[in-house]
Amino acid sequence: MSKNPIYLDCHATTPMDKRVLQEMLPYFTEHFGNPSSITHAYGWEAEAAVKTARNTIADAIHCNQSEIIFTSGATEANNLAIKGVAEAYFSKGQHIITVQTEHRAVLDPCKYLETLGFQVTFLPVQKDGLIDLAQLEKAIRPDTILVSVMAANNEIGVIQPLAAIGEICRQHKVLFHTDAAQAIGKIPLDVENMKIDLMSLTGHKVYGPKGIGALYLRRRNPRVQIAAQIVGGGQERGIRSGTLYTPQIVGFAKAVALGLAEMESETKRQLQLRELLWQNLNQLEGIHLNGHPKQRLPGNLNVSVEGVDGTALLLSLQQVCAISAGSACSSSSIAPSHVLTALGHGEKLAYASLRFGIGRFNTKAEIEQVSQEILTSIKSLRKFQA
């Protein structure tokens, strides 16, 4: 039986931490009640577990527990935030600002709103992947109701200046939403200091379960109004109906708690592994780092390789390591990464890109092995394709 490739695709998803699984297991069989069933002990147990989890996630981003709305993941949270604000503030304005490098879960809802008559400004990014703050402020109009800028990019790992963006939005009395799916548990997040009004979160990017996420929805200074997108039971204050998935919620909170507790040590360790990987790959000419060299997630490395066919390179590495060329959510697309083209890359170079997501369970030995295998593949492909 062949050995599995080394997993380096932690921006697509992460393996569940065994400590998270252990926290979840009792809520599948022993404490299986519906948290909305408040007339008996089974429901009370589930309700208490959900409340504890809600407080854990709220504390992680410095908000009140009543401001956390559980969803099926960040995609739903993004849709709820963008469509919900658009519907609730329709009479105030129909203009939204976002960024060309956003995840499809933000870009596609915005494009949908355009079909309904909304106007959307898709801001470009600079060569390092960061937005131009002056350009953002200039784009704000009297009818702008929402700015949506992701915290950390899912392809190039670039961390946007959230506090500065939040300050601009607050000065202009425009709501600020951020997709923090890649950021929770990896970098500090504070909705008060950063003046964030809505924040999308997910569990499976932080060693938690798939199928669970949350939307932070500010309730004061300002109180954000939002139109529900899923109705039918009145759960989550009527904002997101549906029976709460207690085991997933418990696992999500445990994963976030572990991420915060180990953030300092993991950041240091992953930075060392990333720098080792980059130093090894950078031995060859024609390998380009994509995104800001420092202002990025500690476990992220995204490179483009000159002189090779991107598909051939990925195929040559399938038995060695599990990596991707871009977003896993767009992996079936034959188009080059919209993130890399937004950085100014031509189609050929955008195709020949590798995204590494170094995670909690990766080792120095794995990085060394992968580095050498990749260098060998690039040299071989360049010789063959010359």
Tens of pLDDT, residues 348-383 = 888 899 999 999 999 999 999 999 999 999 999 998
- Pair 156, 129: CB distance under 8 Å: yes
Mean pLDDT of 101-121: 98
Q: pLDDT value at position 347? A: 87
Of 261, 295, 324, the position where a domain reaches its end is 261
- What is the reported pLDDT for 329? 53
Single out the residue in 261, 296, 319 at which a domain terminates: 261
Residue 328: give its domain's CATH number: 3.90.1150.10
Number of domains in the chain: 2
User: In angstroms, rounded to a whole number, what is the distance separating the alpha carbons of residues 144 and 179?
Assistant: 19
Q: Which residue stretches of 37-186 are H helix?
A: 41-61, 74-88, 104-115, 133-139, 162-171
pLDDT at 333 over 60: no
Of 226, 261, 296, the last residue of a domain is: 261
Same domain membership, residue 50 and residue 11 = no
Tell me: do 257 and 270 sit in the same domain: no
Structural domain contains residue 1: no
Predicted model pTM: 0.95
pLDDT computed for residue 324 by the predictor: 86
321 is catalytic: no
Rg (alpha carbons) of the chain, rounded to whole number: 21
User: Do residues 281 and 373 touch, judged by C-beta distance below 8 A?
Assistant: no
Residue 219 sits in the same domain as residue 321: no
Residues 281 and 236 in one domain: no
Lowest mean pLDDT among 14-18, 107-111, 312-316: 312-316
CA–CA dist 316, 309 (Å, integer): 11
Tell me the mean pLDDT in the region 129-147: 98
**Shared-domain flag, residues 162 and 296:** no
- Kindly state whether residues 362 and 287 are assigned to the same domain: yes
The predicted pLDDT at position 1 comes to 36
Q: How confident is the model at residue 52 (pLDDT cuts 50, 70, 90)?
A: very high
Asked if residue 147 and residue 51 are part of one domain, the reply reads: yes
| pLDDT value of residue 194 | 98
Averaged pLDDT, 322-337: 67
In this prediction, residue 217 carries a pLDDT of: 98
Q: What percent of the chain has pLDDT over 70?
A: 97
φ/ψ (deg, to 5) at 322: -95, 100
pLDDT at position 39 over 90: yes
Instruction: Judge whether 351 lies within some domain.
Output: yes
Select which of 63, 110, 169, 329 is catalytic. 329
Query: In angstroms, rounded to a whole number, what is the distance separating the alpha carbons of residues 299 and 281?
Result: 15
**pLDDT tens, position by position, 177-202:** 999 999 999 999 999 999 999 999 99
Residues 155 and 302 in one domain: no
Q: By the 8 A CB rule, do 184 and 155 touch? A: no
**Cross-strand bridge partners of residue 289:** 303
Of residues 24 and 351, more confidence is placed in 24
Whether the per-residue pLDDT at 332 is higher than 60: the answer is: no
Checking if the pLDDT of 325 tops 90, the result is no
Same domain, residue pair 122 and 241: yes
Please indicate, yes or no, if residue 101 is contained in any of the structural domains: yes
In a domain, 235, yes or no: yes
Block residue for tokens 């995670």: 359
Query: Which tokens belong to 300?
Result: 């992220």
Q: Are residues 186 and 71 in the same domain?
A: yes
Kindly state the average pLDDT of the residues 125-145.
98
Over residues 252-268, mean pLDDT: 98
Has residue 87 got a pLDDT over 80?
Answer: yes
Do the domain assignments include residue 279? yes
Rounded to an integer, the average pLDDT of 199-213 is 98
Range of the domain at 235: 19-261
- As a whole number, mean pLDDT of residues 12-32 equals 97
| Cβ neighbours for 325, distance < 8 A, ≥ 6 positions apart | 310, 314, 331, 337, 351, 353, 354, 355
- Residue 152 is assigned to a structural domain of this protein: yes
Query: Strand 353-357 to strand 300-305: parallel, antiparallel, or no bridges (unpaired)?
Result: antiparallel
Given a cut of 90, is residue 40 above it in pLDDT?
Answer: yes
Nearest to 267 by CA among 377, 155, 188, 366: 188
Tokens representing residue 170 in the block: 């607050």
What value does the mean pLDDT of the chain take? 95
Q: Do 117 and 248 lie in a common domain?
A: yes
Give the CATH number, domain containing residue 162.
3.40.640.10
* Average pLDDT of the segment spanning 338-347: 93
104 to 30, 31, 264, 314: CA distances (angstroms):
38, 37, 30, 23
Q: What is the pLDDT of residue 336?
A: 83
Whether residue 237 is found in the same domain as residue 181: yes
Is residue 364 situated within a structural domain?
yes
Cα 348 to Cα 236: distance, rounded to the nearest angstrom: 47
